[in-house]
Amino acid sequence: MERGNTASKILEAIKYSGQHYKDSLPMIASENILSPLVREACNSDLHGRYAEGLPGKRYYQGCEDFDTIESIGIELAKKVFNCNFANIQSTSGTNSNLGALKALTKPGQTITAVSTADGGHISHARMGAVGMRGLDLVTYPWDEERMEPDIDAAAELIRKTKPNLALFGQSVFLFPTPLKELSDAAHEVGAKVMYDGAHVLGLIAGKQFQDPLSEGADVMTGSSHKTFPGPQGGFVLSDSEDSKFIKRLNNGIFPGVCSSYHLHHVAGKVIALSEFEKFGESYAKDIISNAKSLAQALAEEGFDVLAEDRGYTASHQVLTRHGDIDSGAGKDAALTLEKSGIITNMNMLPGDTKAMTPSGLRLGTPELTRVGMGPEEMKDVAKFFSRALIKREDPKIIKNDIKEFKSNFQTVNYCFEPGLAYPGL
Ligand SMILES: Cc1ncc(COP(=O)(O)O)c(C=O)c1O
């Protein structure tokens, strides 16, 4: 059958991309893979449908079945995240933040957040969602040793600045935020508290990190596809029972920042929630124990792993420094690892000032954990790092060895009906 050049080219590139990940060690901290049932939902007719509004209050006909899906999903999200309110429509973590910022602030008001240099996300910055909402940004003093906001100095800054919103959470996220102390300071000056749990949402729902909504956050946002292993999308969550506040949160997403909200992904999210309810706690535990084992093993191989004094990590992430500050050593390391079959990303670490030539790498264990690797395999992974970056072996040889090693880890786990992790190739 005639497919045309472009379609053939695109389908071939998709196939090669899938093969690439299948044969590699995918260690980007924000990535994950779908379970077979979630994949099925994402590949459904819902892809082309619209359902503006909320279940039972739609602007379009034809939503009866989707109303069932979204209603079940809202209740399940409230259960999984242990809260009173859930909006499951947002199409990404950034979109969740935009919607929440719309609900919680007005242009010209002030927000406090973690700076991007200290690990805050771009949507917390002037060049991202915070700037788009026209907010005045003040960033927290940062404790580089503990890799968290400097508690006393940040509380003082909040009391002095009197922001309308205090935002917490990062993209570089090794340890729980000292939220109780800081949200007390924020509430004292009348600020709302928002916690961006994009990266750690699965660890929170799996009860292995912190519980922001019981520690003072008025709203928690997040992605549905990182440590929470669903399709790409987002959540907005709160413990509030104030109907006006809840209405503002819902309106922040629709009509605020979404019209179509990717119904196939919402259906996938609901299945992912149901899988998480059963398997999430053990998945979250295993992700963190693998991150700790990986950090220890990398340190034993001779790598400079950050936060040794705090046990390296309490999350899914591990940070390594590969040379002088701003030297670009992190970028070089990421390129060498990619040639060797390990997919990571360069990252700014304390002291770095240039995003394109940082000294560090950010590593994540969610995907390796999901395909069945445990602490013993983390030692093997650290050895591959050492062969690539310390012993400087031929990347082609390492890549071949990784392909063979990875061939034993091709099943997606922590879900109903475990199946091929990288299907359709
Ligand atoms: C803290 C934080 N917030 C928001 C986002 C954005 O999430 P998404 O990629 O789903 O838009 C990220 C992405 O990594 C993040 O790290």
- pLDDT per residue, tens digit, the chain (425 aa), is 678 899 999 999 999 999 999 999 999 999 999 999 999 999 999 999 999 999 999 999 999 999 999 999 999 999 999 999 999 999 999 999 999 999 999 999 999 999 999 999 999 999 999 999 999 999 999 999 999 999 999 999 999 999 999 999 999 999 999 999 999 999 999 999 999 999 999 999 999 999 999 999 999 999 999 999 999 999 999 999 999 999 999 999 999 999 999 999 999 999 999 999 999 999 999 999 999 999 999 999 999 999 999 999 999 999 999 999 999 999 999 999 999 999 999 999 999 999 999 999 999 999 999 999 999 999 999 999 999 999 999 999 999 999 999 999 999 999 999 999 999 76
CA of 61 to the centre of ligand 1 (A): 33
What lines the ligand 1 site, CB under 6 Å? 30, 92-94, 97, 121, 123, 169-171, 196, 198-199, 223, 234
- Looking at the domain assignment, is residue 80 inside a domain? yes
- Looking at the domain assignment, is residue 410 inside a domain? yes
Domain boundary among 273, 304, 326: 273
- Looking at the domain assignment, is residue 361 inside a domain? yes
C-beta neighbour count of 114 within 10 angstroms: 26
Structural domains of the chain, count: 2
235 & 129 share domain: yes
324 & 394 share domain: yes
3-state class of 239 per DSSP?
Answer: coil
Two tokens, residue 175: 């340890």
User: What ligand 1 atom has the least distance to the C-alpha of 224?
Assistant: 10
β pairing state of 110-113 and 25-26: unpaired
User: What ligand 1 atom has the least distance to the C-alpha of 197?
Assistant: 1
172 & 247 share domain: yes
Cβ atoms of 40 and 238 within 8 Å: the answer is no
- Looking at the domain assignment, is residue 244 inside a domain? yes
The residues pairing with 57 across neighbouring beta strands, listed in sequence order, are 54
CA of 101 to the centre of ligand 1 (A): 14
The CB-side HSE value for 415 (13 A sphere, CA atoms) comes to: 28
For residue 110, the enclosing domain spans: 38-273
Q: Decide: residue 13, CB within 10 A, 0-12 exposed, 13-18 middle, 19+ buried.
A: exposed
Burial 330-346 (b: 16+ CB within 10 A, else e): bbbbbebbbebbbbbbb
Q: Decide: residue 376, CB within 10 A, 0-12 exposed, 13-18 middle, 19+ buried.
A: exposed
What's the confidence (pLDDT) of residue 3?
A: 80
Residue in 88, 121, 130 to alter for ligand 1 test, most ligand atoms within 8 A of Cβ? 121
- Going by alpha carbons, the residue nearest to atom 5 of ligand 1 is 93
What's the confidence (pLDDT) of residue 4?
A: 85
pTM: 0.97
Domain boundary among 273, 302, 328: 273
CA of 395 to the centre of ligand 1 (A): 31
What's the confidence (pLDDT) of residue 425?
A: 61
- Going by alpha carbons, the residue nearest to atom 3 of ligand 1 is 198
Contacts of 37 (CB under 8 A, 6+ apart): 271, 275, 415, 416, 417
CATH number at residue 289: 3.90.1150.10
Residue in 223, 258, 269, 315 to alter for ligand 1 test, most ligand atoms within 8 A of Cβ? 223
- Going by alpha carbons, the residue nearest to atom 7 of ligand 1 is 93
Domain boundary among 273, 303, 318: 273
- Looking at the domain assignment, is residue 318 inside a domain? yes
